[in-house]
């Protein structure tokens, strides 16, 4: 006992162990980097009890912080969080050496010696675990990217609502196939708002009737004549309105008067005369 | 683990052991004896060792390891031999009570 203590402690105090720790760090780090060892190999020797006994509290705090925030706690997280230099610094050299010795014997067993019974079992056991443990931290990042596209998916949805606005405009256009006629007809209406009493009920009835008449009138006025025929159509529509509404003769008379008034507003005699003639002809 | 990884690791361990004075070149040659070197080093490397020694007028363990670097040791010598060297050094440091046989 005494000798052992003298030997080991003497070795530690010699400063020889300072180099020994650096040697351990290089050996363990390279083993982990080269895939000779996996973090599980380290934790098998540097157990939680060992860490509890030898790891300083600040390092424990760091380890606990990392474990709390990690999606999964495994040997890799522990080893990476503490760091090989800290492990070799605080964990007794004998334990670190036991770990390195296992790695060395296992490595030799793979090359030269016949593998001990326990060795091959540890290899396949550790290898898959390493493969499992490594991807995991890598797998955690993907979720955020998955969230990004979702976030990106929202903007289009937000854009979508803006689309309906043009869509509504499109609806207006669709309706507008009849509406351009209606807008000018609105010009009449205010003028004929004197007739406005009729405006509301007939307005609903006007559109279908106005469409019905153009279909009969054929598509002649569909494309080009839209603007000019607006006037004609307006007169026609008004005339239809008269007919529709005008089951009553009074309204026909009233409409005829309004056309004359329209002639006054446009200040064009031709339209007035044409509108009257057309309207009356049709 | 592949042989390349194992070889790289032994090379790194030998390099670190020499850098950190865990063992000295003489300790290495205590295990990597002339017989072992002669049996495993390729002819051109043996030639280099001899040439360097002839040029210097002596053949010391340090000079041998200047030519036969840790990488070459790990590449040509049986890893068992290197491990015996490492384990013996660990035993001297007091961390390994059972020197690997």
Q: What is the pLDDT of residues B47-95, one digit of tens each?
A: 888 888 888 888 889 989 999 999 999 999 999 999 999 999 999 888 8
| Cα atoms in the Cβ-side hemisphere of radius 13 Å centred on A55 | 24
DSSP letter, residue A246? T
Would you tell me which residues 113-142 of chain A have a C-beta closer than 8 angstroms to some C-beta of chain B?
113
Structure confidence at residue B65 (pLDDT):
95
A1 touches chain B (CB under 8 A): no
pTM recorded for the entire structure: 0.48
Chain B residues with beta carbon closer than 8 angstroms to that of A101: 87, 90, 96, 100
ipTM of the complex: 0.75
Torsion of CA B42, B44, B46, B47, to 10 degrees: 160
A35, closest residue in chain B (CA to CA): B1
Structural contact between residues B59 and B26, judged by C-beta atoms closer than 8 angstroms: no
What angle in degrees, to the nearest 10, is found between the helix axes of A226-245 and A249-266? 150
pLDDT tens readout for residues A138-147 = 333 334 444 3
Interface contacts (A, B; CB < 8 Å): 95
For residue A121, name the pLDDT band (cuts at 50, 70, 90).
very low
SS (H, E, C) A51-73: HHHHCCHHHHHHHHHHHHHCCCC
Chain A residues with beta carbon closer than 8 angstroms to that of B94: 7-8, 10-12, 93
Res A172 pLDDT > 50: no
Phi-psi region of B100 (alpha: psi -120 to 50; beta: other; left: phi over 0): beta
Would you tell me which residues 198-227 of chain A have a C-beta closer than 8 angstroms to some C-beta of chain B?
none
Q: What angle do CA A228, A230, A232 make, to 5 degrees?
A: 80
Q: Using the beta-carbon criterion (under 8 Å), do B22 and A97 form an inter-chain contact?
A: no
A27 touches chain B (CB under 8 A): yes
Structure confidence at residue A260 (pLDDT):
56
Distance from CA of B76 to the nearest CA of A (A): 13
Structural contact between residues B1 and A36, judged by C-beta atoms closer than 8 angstroms: yes
Cα–Cα separations (whole angstroms), residue A266 to A188, A221, A273, B1: 11, 21, 12, 96
Q: What angle do CA A81, A76, B2 make, to 5 degrees?
A: 130
Q: Please state, in angstroms and rounded to a whole number, the distance separating the CA atoms of residues B33 and A256.
A: 128
Q: What percentage of chain A has pLDDT greater than the value 70?
A: 33
Q: Which helix (H) or strand (E) holds A17?
A: helix A16-34
Distance from CA of B55 to the nearest CA of A (A): 33
């Amino acid at each position: 006992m005494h000798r052992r203590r003298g030997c080991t402690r003497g070795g530690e105090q010699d400063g020889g162990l300072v180099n020994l720790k650096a040697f351990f760090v290089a050996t363990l780090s390279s083993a982990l980097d080269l895939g000779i060892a996996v973090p599980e190999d380290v934790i098998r020797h540097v157990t939680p009890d060992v860490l509890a006994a030898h790891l300083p509290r600040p390092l424990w705090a760091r380890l606990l912080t990392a474990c709390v925030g990690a999606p999964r706690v495994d040997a890799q997280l522990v080893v990476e969080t503490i760091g090989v230099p800290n492990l070799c610094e605080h964990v007794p050299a004998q334990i670190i050496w036991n770990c390195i010795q296992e790695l060395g014997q296992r490595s030799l067993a793979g090359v030269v010696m016949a593998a001990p019974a326990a060795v091959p079992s540890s290899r396949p056991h550790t290898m898959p675990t390493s493969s499992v443990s490594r991807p995991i931290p890598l797998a955690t990042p993907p979720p955020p990217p998955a969230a990004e596209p979702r976030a990106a998916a929202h903007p289009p949805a937000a854009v979508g609502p803006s689309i309906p606005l043009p869509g509504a405009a499109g609806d207006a256009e669709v309706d507008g196939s009849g509406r351009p006629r209606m807008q000018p007809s609105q010009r009449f209406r205010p003028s004929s708002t004197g007739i406005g009493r009729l405006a509301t009920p007939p307005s609903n009835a006007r559109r279908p009737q106005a469409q019905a008449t153009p279909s009969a009138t054929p598509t002649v006025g569909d494309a080009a004549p839209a603007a000019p025929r607006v006037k004609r159509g307006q007169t026609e529509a008004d005339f239809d309105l008269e007919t529709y509404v005008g089951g009553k003769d009074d309204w026909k008379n009233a409409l005829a008067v309004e056309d004359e008034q329209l002639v006054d507003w446009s200040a064009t005699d031709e339209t007035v005369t044409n509108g009257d003639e057309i309207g009356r002809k049709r | 683990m592949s042989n390349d990884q194992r070889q790289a690791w032994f090379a790194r361990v030998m390099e670190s052991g020499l850098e950190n004075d865990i063992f000295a070149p003489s300790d290495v040659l205590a295990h990597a004896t002339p017989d072992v070197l002669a049996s495993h080093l390729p002819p051109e490397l043996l030639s280099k060792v001899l040439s360097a020694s002839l040029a210097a007028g002596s053949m010391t363990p340090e000079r041998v390891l200047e030519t036969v670097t840790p990488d070459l040791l790990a590449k040509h010598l049986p890893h068992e031999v290197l491990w015996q060297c490492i384990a013996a050094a660990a035993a001297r440091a007091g961390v390994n009570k059972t020197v690997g046989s």
